[in-house]
Amino acid sequence: MHDKVVRRRRAVLALLVALSLLLLTAYFGESSGGGLHAVQRGSLEALAPIQEGANKALKPARDLFGWFGDTLDAQDERDRLAGERDALRSEVAQLQVANRELEQLKGLQEMNTTGGLQQYDPVQSRVYQRSPSTWFQTVTINKGSSDGVAVDDPVVNGQGLIGKVKSVSDGNAVVMLLTDQDFGVSALAPKRGEPGSITPIAGSGSGELLFDLVDNAEEVQTGDLIVTAGTSSARLPSVYPRSILIGTVKRIEEGDGELDRRVHVAPAADLLHLDIVQVLTSPDANLRADATRAP
Amino acid sequence: MTITAQAVGRLALLGLLAAVLQLTAISQVSIFGVPADLSPLIVASVGFLTGSVPGAVFGFCFGLFADTALMQTLGVTSLVLTAIGYGAGRVRELRDPAHGLAPVAVGAAATAVAALGLTLLQFLLGLEAPLSLQVGRQILMTVVLNTLLALPVYALCRRVLLPFLPDDPRRRRRRAYTTGGLSPLSRA
């Protein structure tokens, strides 16, 4: 009796295993259009409504489990994402700084090539300090006398004139900005050919400049560009080369007479956000070149 | 186990419901990063409760249904679950473990055998993906998860199949102790 039971058990096992292997071999060997595949597809079609119904019916339970799981995972994910966010913020900040510097460098490059500043031996430097005083509009740069920088050298960036070197040490220099109360430069409205000088509106805090001593002030219009006049007389040499953009005429205050007319100029350079500037260490290069060509 | 039409019907219903539940809900909920796999637990529980032959037949049918429903290679899951059902039944027949946690051990072993067996068969059938540590981790986590579920699944299967199971001497002893040897019905 026991042997019969054992034989029956083994026979059933052998039959099932053989059936499985037979199915496996036949299924594996036939093409996707074969009989077993067709039976499988038919069964799937028949089972699909049951599965769909069960799927809909069990969705709330699934969502509930999912909610528990999500809640458990949420804290870890929040911490991980907070870390990622901080890292990305830092990266974005670095990229923004790099982008701004790149734009400034691009402007300088354009000015050097198309504006002809290369002849003035520009020394590129970085602004690392700025005076907080309204009255003393200065910045400090990381290049000094050892790099060829000297007092009164003009300083520009990709947008236009920034100011001039006020004092210099071995590795650093203080630059007086256009808006400093002691600043002044001979200037020109090239469209009208009207000469004058640029001075800051002291203590105004607006960053505006004044274009005064203009012979024919009525000729100047809003929107006119103002550039450095350069040296027009050998007796009175200017420290600034010709035709460096200073700014644009922003508004004109009409007075009682022609002498009361005040021409306000907005600086071309953004003086509040300076990172990279150039010091023109040979500002009289064009004069020397002219003198060489003259004979 | 007494094989009757009603017992077969219950087993079929249990298998169908378990398979549908597995495919439509449990496979879509992941705990510890993996979904639970009720198939080896159900088959092992049925084998452990009913014996090797019914366990093997149930495993074969359950595997065939799963392969059909999932459009998998027919015979692969059947082969593995047949072995699990038969093995679980043989454990009961040979050892008859009395410990209450025996189904947990059987469930864990069944899950490990199922996971490793299916992986092995897939490679034998020509799966060309390289074996990574990720597969090992998945198998381990599934075994851990199924171990936690083994006892409730076993209890459910036992409840469904209880009328067809031979009277358990331990259960009879417990009843005698609590009722003074009489059935609660006869006392009433």
Contact criterion met (CB < 8 Å) for B25 and A17: no
Confidence of residue A136 (pLDDT cuts 50, 70, 90): low
A189, A225 Cβ separation under 8 angstroms = yes
Q: Which of A8-17, A71-80, A102-111, B97-106 has the highest mean pLDDT?
A: A8-17
**Residue extents of the structural domains in chain B:** 5-187
Confidence band of B188 (pLDDT split at 50, 70, 90) = very low
Percent of chain A at pLDDT above 70? 86
Which is more confident, B52 or A286? B52
**Are A154 and A175 in contact, with CB atoms under 8 Å apart?**
no
Q: Kindly indicate the confidence band of residue B183, based on its pLDDT and cuts at 50, 70 and 90.
A: very low
C-alpha closest to that of A217 among A246, A238, A195, A202: A195
B86-137 residue pLDDT tens: 999 999 888 877 787 888 999 999 999 998 898 888 888 876 666 666 778 8
Mean pLDDT of A82-89: 88
Closest residue of chain B to A8, computed from CA coordinates = B53
Q: Determine the distance in angstroms separating the CA of B98 from the nearest CA of chain A, rounded to an integer.
A: 24
Q: Is B45 exposed, middle or buried (0-12, 13-18, 19+ CB in 10 A)?
A: buried
Q: How far apart are CA B70 and CA B65, in angstroms?
A: 8
Q: How far apart are CA A106 and CA B153, in angstroms?
A: 71
Q: Can you give A197-245 as a three-state secondary structure string?
A: EEEECCCCCCCCEEEECCCCHHHCCCCCEEEECCCCCCCCCCCCCCCCE
What pLDDT is recorded for position A295?
A: 46
Give the pLDDT confidence score for residue A4 in this predicted structure: 82
DSSP state letter for B166 = P
Which runs of E-coded beta strand occur in chain A? 122-130, 138-141, 154-157, 160-168, 173-177, 185-189, 194-200, 209-212, 225-228, 245-253, 262-267, 276-280
Rounded CA-CA distance A219/B30 in Å is 80
Query: Which residue among A13, A20, A69 places its CB closest to the CB of B78?
Result: A20
Instruction: Decide: A229 and A195 in contact? Cβ < 8 Å.
Output: yes
Mutate which: B29, B77, B148, vs A, most A CBs within 10 A: B29
Q: Closest partner residue to B68 among A44, A54, A65, by Cβ?
A: A44
Residue B55 has pLDDT above 90, yes or no: yes
Phi, psi of A44 (to 5 degrees): -65, -40
pLDDT over 70 (residue A162): yes
A158 to chain B, closest Cα gap in Å: 55
* Residues of chain A neighbouring B68 (CB-CB closer than 8 A): 39-40, 43-44, 47
What are A218-239's pLDDT values in tens digits? 778 888 889 888 876 666 677 7
pLDDT at A161 over 50: yes
The three-class DSSP label of residue A188 is strand
> Assign residue B169 a region: left if phi > 0, alpha if psi is -120 to 50, beta otherwise?
alpha
ipTM over cut 0.90: no
* Residues of chain B contacting residue A69, judged by C-beta atoms under 8 Å apart: 29-31
Greater model confidence, B89 or A283: B89
Sorted by sequence, the CB contacts under 8 Å of residue B45 that are 6+ apart come out as B88, B103, B106, B107, B150, B153, B154, B156, B157, B158
Are A58 and B24 an interchain contact pair (Cβ–Cβ within 8 Å)? yes
Architecture field, domain B5-187: Orthogonal Bundle (1.10)
Q: Which tens digits make up the pLDDT trace of B125-180?
A: 876 666 666 778 888 888 998 999 999 999 999 998 888 877 665 555 555 555 55
Taking only the tens place, the pLDDT of each residue in A174-205 is 898 888 877 888 888 887 777 888 888 765 55
Q: Do A21 and B79 touch (CB under 8 A)?
A: yes
The whole-number average pLDDT for the span B76-92 is 92
Angle, vertex CA A177, rays to CA A231 and CA A183, nearest 5: 55
A69/B30 touch (CB, cutoff 8 Å), yes or no: yes
pLDDT at A18: 93
The pLDDT value given to residue B185: 46
Confidence label for B1 from pLDDT (cuts 50, 70 and 90): low
Residue A87 Cα, gap to closest chain B Cα (Å): 26
Name the average pLDDT for chain A.
81
Chain A residues contacting B via beta carbons under 8 Å = 8-9, 12-13, 16-17, 19-28, 36, 39-41, 43-44, 47, 50-51, 54-55, 58, 61-62, 65-66, 69
